[in-house]
Amino acid sequence: MGRTLTFNIFRYNPSDPASSPHMDKFTLDETERMTLFIALNRIREEIDPTLMFDFCCRAGICGACAMVINGRPGLACHTKTKEMPAEITLMPLPVFKLVGDLSVDTGTWFRGMYQKVESWVHTDKKFDPKAQEERMDNALAEQIYELDRCIECGCCVGACGTALMREDFLGAVALNRLARFILDPRDQRTEKDYFDIVGTDEGIFGCMGLLACEDVCPKQIPLQEQLGKLRRKMALAAVKNILPKFLKKDF
Amino acid sequence: MKIIQTDLLCVGAGLAGERVAIEAADNGFSVICLSIVPARRSHSSAAQGGMQAALGNSAMGEGDSPDVHFADTVKGSDWGCDQEVARLFVDAAPIAMRQMAFWGVPWNRVVPGEQTYYKGGKPFTAFEKPENEGLIHSRNFGGTAKWRTCYTSDGTGHCVLYTLDNRAAQMGVSVIDKVEAIALIHDGDTCMGVIARCLKTGELTAYLAKATLIATGGFGRIYRESTNAVICDGGGLITALDTGVVPLGNMEAVQFHPTGIVPTDILVTEGCRGDGGTLLDKNEYRFMPDYEPEKAELASRDVVSRRMTEHMRKGLGVPSPYGDHLWLDIRHLGEAHIRTKLREVDEICQSFLGVDPVYQLIPVRPTQHYSMGGVRTNKDGAAYGLKGLFSAGEASCWDMHGFNRLGGNSLAETVVAGMIIGGKIVEFLKGAETVIKTASVRDAMDKQNARIADLVACKNGSENPYTVRNAMFDSIMKGAGIFRNGKDLETCVAELQEILGRARRVGLRSSGKGANPELTMALKIEGMVKLALCVAYGALKRTESRGAHTREDFPERNDRDWLTRTLATWADGADLPTLNYEPATHIFEMPPGDRGYGGGKIIPMNG
Ligand SMILES: Cc1cc2nc3c(=O)[nH]c(=O)nc-3n(C[C@H](O)[C@H](O)[C@H](O)COP(=O)(O)OP(=O)(O)OC[C@H]3O[C@@H](n4cnc5c(N)ncnc54)[C@H](O)[C@@H]3O)c2cc1C
Ligand code: SF4
Ligand code: SF4
Ligand code: FES
């Protein structure tokens, strides 16, 4: 305690023609148990009322507050100042469209993503309100939950070299989402359906496998494992698609 | 002027808003949901515990039925709820849970055979029937006779919300995020939509609709200390109150939770105390047994919160830069128990406080948690006062919670109400055509543009909106917190009236351009102070104690005079709400009786 913290914060308001991208410096006295959530709110309320950033749950659950903290994507509400050097640099997440300062538009990006992977259960069954629920093995339900835990914070996308280079890259988060539906017996899509979505350079074959995504995921989702599994599955499906029909049975 | 038109406009894309949206989209209507944040970040995602429905699949839920669920709900409400609505709710809840399963929620399922569960820190075994294998499981929650809470590990709200948002996308519901509704468009008789401000560009748009739904969640952020997300600031309720004709119901009914961590007020579960955690003061003295010799830390949520506040008022709280707090001590439970059975608590302490609960004390204080009050609707979800306006979820006072909602009943309410009210909105949409009056639209737009121009120009003054908000925080927590009494409430109401005057004189320090957050605050602060006044004034007038509303000077529940629901409206230019009352329920399936917990005397209906 007793430290004075210096914050270097990226500033730019695209709606204001007078604004141009630059860094601003703010200083605060560190208080006990301070997090970036507390610090940024204090800066806005006590020093500069125009500072733009996003928080919602402030409890590491909603994914709203992802930003680049001293060079690394992470959740700001989750970050304690006492574990940081006295000089802290904050930048908005790359890849996503900038709203202003540290705030980016994750909503549009993720909506695009889940439309592309059709992130819902595909079934031709009809819900019957009078019937008992269809049974499911609990271990399987827990497996699905493991992949369902993604909070769409965008850290993995912000850390991904491929996503930075090609706008249409789906990213580890989308592949993880698809893996969730592949696991789910309620989803009746076939391997070919899945292949059509991700069996391209926009999908699984664009990934360079450098692991940055898993390193930064605040929910410790096993992204690499999912990427690996999908890659093998999709490679197999790719082969199946070019082989003549009569040969496929052997797979 | 930018205008967008649709059949149904849902203000809010949490569980309640999206469930209603899906119902209408399923019936072929066009639907738009507005949300301050991407739908999946709505506060519903933060609920970890689960949602109640009497499926009765688990061993500890055996023999459960909607009737038992009904009795728990009415008792929980301290007989303040609408019993007709509670009945609709409990009957439909099992269907709603199964529908969620059908749409993709990975509910935890029954595993057959002998299973180990925990109660009060002690393990016990129960036998799960083989014929129930794979059906939806349930866990224990406070205040219920049976285990009834459906869950997905520690992420129920998250999973259900993602599933619903997937479904909404599939049905073609259009969700527009980073948009905030700032006023309803109406002519005093019919609601025609909202004026909303884009939080990316600052631009105003008129969204016109045949039916408008307010599903904006709770308003916990009128208190400084709240477990609610920072966006739960009552924006939707403010738009309703500003019409002057739509009443808010039971605003004085505010639920507090004993253990929010300090400084950020993130909730740590009741399980800590259930498993044997104790509360200590600044001298590290365990004070709860002095107040509640029998139950100590295990008394009900409201009782513990009250005792903690009382103790801090005696100057025995721990001072900190964030105000006084107390300590929660779970060290004696031991590393093995804390790292496994209380994993979530361990994680919260480590990630947000840098405190290791195995060796260190956890700073806690009672914290605002849930808003029972909201836009008053009838059992169809239709708001009083304006045709074409509906409300659902925590923002509404559909009123199955009365003066205290049970854990697990709120998340369940969102989807059950969504299903029922969604159906009623579909009927409404199939019936009448709404005539949109261009004059009303223009008036509403002009008024909001003028407000913004005045704020930017500091025309009414240059009070700082954040300073005004802090003054409101201080006043309401002191006067209309957990403990209430006539004297403090009178002071609080007078202070808030003065603060309302200041809120009407705020002006910006900045240009207000684009997504400007200062303008967002400035546009809202007057309404927030009004909500605070609805709470404090309603609490002052209600001279009894019921559920979460506790008057030290009127400790008894008074069914003779107060088996009523408060209705607060706000006349243009007034500096207090107008209060009216209606009977709490028209139908008594269960006559008023003792809750069986919480103590307190009852003045009977005919007493
Ligand atoms: C920490 C915590 C844990 C909880 N755990 C449980 C639990 O285990 N079980 C249980 O039953 N209940 C629980 N609850 C309560 C429950 O989570 C909420 O009551 C419920 O999720 C509310 O859902 P909703 O759809 O009404 O509102 P929300 O999910 O809060 O959604 C509100 C929506 O409205 C939007 N919005 C708000 N204002 C505006 C505006 N002016 N313009 C446009 N959009 C707006 C928001 O962006 C959001 O999309 C918990 C609550 C908290 C705080
Ligand atoms: S492993 Fe693939 S998805 Fe992950 S960061 Fe690298 S390129 Fe991106
Ligand atoms: S996978 Fe992890 S890092 Fe990526 S969006 Fe989800 S939670 Fe964030
Ligand atoms: S604010 Fe929700 S994750 Fe940080």
Residue of A nearest to B39 (CA): A107
Between CA B470 and CA B495 the distance in angstroms is 12
User: Is pLDDT larger for residue B57 or for residue B48?
Assistant: B57
Render pLDDT for B517-527 as a digit per residue (tens, 0 to 9).
Answer: 999 999 999 99
Q: Which residues lie across from B118 on neighbouring strands?
A: B123
The span from the CA of A94 to the CA of A163, in Å, is 9
pLDDT digit string (tens) for B284-296? 999 999 988 887 8
Ligand 2 atom 5: residue of nearest CA: A160
- Could you count the other beta carbons within 10 Å of the beta carbon of residue A250? 6
pLDDT digits (tens, 9 = 90+) for B139-166: 887 668 898 999 998 889 999 999 999 9
Reply yes or no: is the peptide bond before residue B357 cis, omega within 30 of 0.
no
Q: Over the range B459-478, which residues count as b (16 or more CB within 10 Å of their CB) and which as e? A: eeeebbbbebbebbbebbbe
Interface of B with A in 307-326 (CB under 8 A): 320-322
Nearest chain A residue to B170, by CA: A120
**Consecutive 10-residue averages of pLDDT for chain A (251 residues):** 92 93 97 94 96 96 97 95 96 96 97 93 96 96 94 95 87 89 93 84 78 89 81 69 43 35
ipTM above 0.90, yes or no: yes
- Give CA angle at B44 (B26, B531), nearest 5°: 105
* Protein residue with least CA distance to atom 8, ligand 2: A160
For A57, which residue in chain B has the nearest alpha carbon? B229
pLDDT: is A241 or B122 the higher one? B122
Contact B511 A16 (CB under 8 A): yes
Q: A19 vs A6, B171, B508, B517, CA distance in Å?
A: 23, 40, 18, 16
Q: Is the dihedral of CA A59, B338, B105, B142 positive or negative?
A: negative
Q: Which residue of B has its CA nearest to A130?
A: B95
B403-432 pLDDT per residue, tens: 999 889 999 999 999 999 999 999 999 987
Average pLDDT over residues B574-596: 94
Residues 6+ apart with CB under 8 A from B290: none
* Contact: B38, A118; criterion CB under 8 Å: no
Residues A20 and A42 sit within 8 Å (Cβ to Cβ): no
Q: In Å, how far is A249's CA from the nearest CA of chain B?
A: 31
Q: Which of B136, B322, B352 lies at the smallest CB-CB distance from A133?
A: B136
Residue B172 has pLDDT above 80, yes or no: yes
Count the neighbouring beta carbons within 10 Å of the beta carbon of residue A229: 15
User: Three-class SS of residue A56?
Assistant: coil
Give the number of whichever ligand sits closest to the CA of residue B230: 4
> What 8-state DSSP symbol labels residue A96?
S
Q: Is B438 helix (H, G, I), strand (E, B) or coil?
A: helix
- The residue ranges of DSSP E strands in B167-321, in sequence order, are 174-177, 179-186, 191-198, 204-214, 248-249, 254-261, 278-280
Pair of tokens at residue B76:
């929980």
Please check whether residue A64 is in contact with residue A56, taking contact to mean a CB–CB distance below 8 angstroms: yes
The region that residue B276 occupies, defined by phi over 0 for left and psi between -120 and 50 for alpha, beta otherwise, is left
CA distances for B267 relative to A204, B219, B222, B320, B352, angstroms: 39, 17, 17, 19, 11
Ligand 1 contacts (CB < 6 A) are: B 11-17, 34-37, 39, 42-44, 46-51, 157, 180-181, 215-218, 227-228, 231-232, 235-236, 267, 369-370, 393-395, 407-412, 414
- B466 and A49 within 8 Å at the Cβ level: the answer is yes
Which domains can be identified in chain B, with CATH numbers? 2-111+156-253+370-431 (3.50.50.60), 257-369 (3.90.700.10), 438-557 (1.20.58.100)
Residue A239, pLDDT score: 58
Start-to-end C-alpha separation, chain A: 64
Across the range B316-345, mean pLDDT stands at 89
Structure tokens at B343: 């994993």
Query: Is B107 in a helix, a strand, or coil?
Result: coil
Confirm or reject contact between A47 and chain B (CB < 8 A).
no
Residue B599: per-residue pLDDT: 67
- Interchain CB contact of A31 with B (< 8 Å): yes
Among B45, B511, B517, whose Cβ lies nearest the Cβ of A62? B45
Residues in chain A: 251
User: Domain A118-242 maps to which CATH number in 3.30.1330.90, 1.10.3720.10, 1.10.1060.10, 3.40.710.10?
Assistant: 1.10.1060.10
Q: Which pLDDT belongs to residue A245?
A: 44
Percentage of chain B beyond pLDDT 70 is 98
pLDDT of A192 reads 85
What are A28's strand-pairing partners? Answer: A5
For the four alpha carbons of B355, A156, B157 and A135, in that order, the dihedral sign comes to: negative
Please tell me the predicted confidence (pLDDT) of residue A195: 84
The sign of the dihedral angle between the CA atoms of B315, B319, B323, B328 is: negative
Structure tokens given for A171: 């990213």
Domain ranges of chain A: 4-103, 118-242
Instruction: Give the pTM.
Output: 0.95
Distance CA B398, CA B416 (A): 12
SS3 of B565, please?
strand
What's the topology of domain A4-103? Ubiquitin-like (UB roll) (3.10.20)
CB contact under 8 A, A57 and B166: no
Residue to mutate among B139, B162, B177, with most A CBs inside 10 A, is B162
B130 neighbors B90 (Cβ within 8 angstroms):
no
* Shortest Cα–Cα distance, B123 to chain A (Å): 21
The C-alpha R_g of chain A, in whole angstroms, comes to 22
